[in-house]
């Protein structure tokens, strides 16, 4: 469940405009992501969490519930938060990105850990390892 109601509440408390990616054509999404001050992931369950990876690839701050890869992905990146939902805490975490002329974080290097090329290399390595064991 994506919990859009939570995003609405955080935006209200932060005094921010909330935009949703629903209905945005996939080829336009990088433009939307780059134009954002921050991305909010309010899901109760997430298999992986690609939106957070995509946001970090654009050096956009992310606040997220601790689902999918979020705890590992966001851990230690100044300006990002992976924590249980708390509208006040999340609004406070977003405030610096909303008030700042350049709201960027240094997330691109972390997002690169999940790039298609590196993931493919890991899969190939896993298969080689299996074949060698036989």
Residue 129 belongs to domain with CATH number:
3.40.50.2000
CB 75 within 8 A of CB 49: no
pLDDT of residue 53: 93
Residue 39 backbone zone (phi > 0: left; psi -120 to 50: alpha; other: beta): beta
pLDDT for residue 117 is more than 90? no
pLDDT for residue 1 is more than 70? no
Angle, vertex CA 100, rays to CA 56 and CA 10, nearest 5:
70
65-72: long-range pairs with CB below 8 Å, 24+ = 65/41, 67/41, 67/43, 68/43, 69/114, 70/41, 70/46
Range of the structural domain that residue 29 is part of: 4-133
Q: Please choose, from the candidates 41, 39, 47, 44, the residue with its C-alpha nearest in 3D space to the C-alpha of residue 1.
A: 44
Q: What is the pLDDT of residues 25-80, one digit of tens each?
A: 989 988 998 999 999 999 988 888 889 999 999 999 999 999 999 999 999 999 99
% of the chain at pLDDT higher than 90: 65
Give the pTM. Answer: 0.84
Mean per-residue pLDDT, 113-119: 83
Number of domains in the chain: 1
Q: What is the pLDDT of residues 67-109, one digit of tens each?
A: 999 999 999 999 999 999 999 999 999 999 998 888 899 999 9
């Amino acid at each position: 469940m994506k919990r859009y109601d939570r995003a609405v509440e955080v935006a209200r408390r932060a005094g921010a405009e909330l935009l949703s990616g629903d209905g945005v054509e996939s080829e336009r999404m990088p433009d939307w992501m780059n134009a954002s001050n921050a991305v909010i992931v309010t899901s109760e369950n997430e298999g992986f969490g690609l939106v957070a990876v995509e946001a970090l690839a654009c050096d956009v701050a992310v606040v997220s519930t601790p689902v999918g890869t979020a705890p590992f992905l966001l851990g230690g990146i100044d300006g990002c938060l992976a924590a249980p939902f708390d509208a006040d805490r999340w609004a406070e975490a977003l405030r610096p990105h909303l008030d700042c002329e350049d709201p960027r974080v240094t997330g691109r290097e972390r997002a690169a850990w999940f790039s298609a090329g590196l993931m493919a290399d890991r899969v190939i390595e896993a298969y080689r390892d299996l074949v060698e064991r036989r």
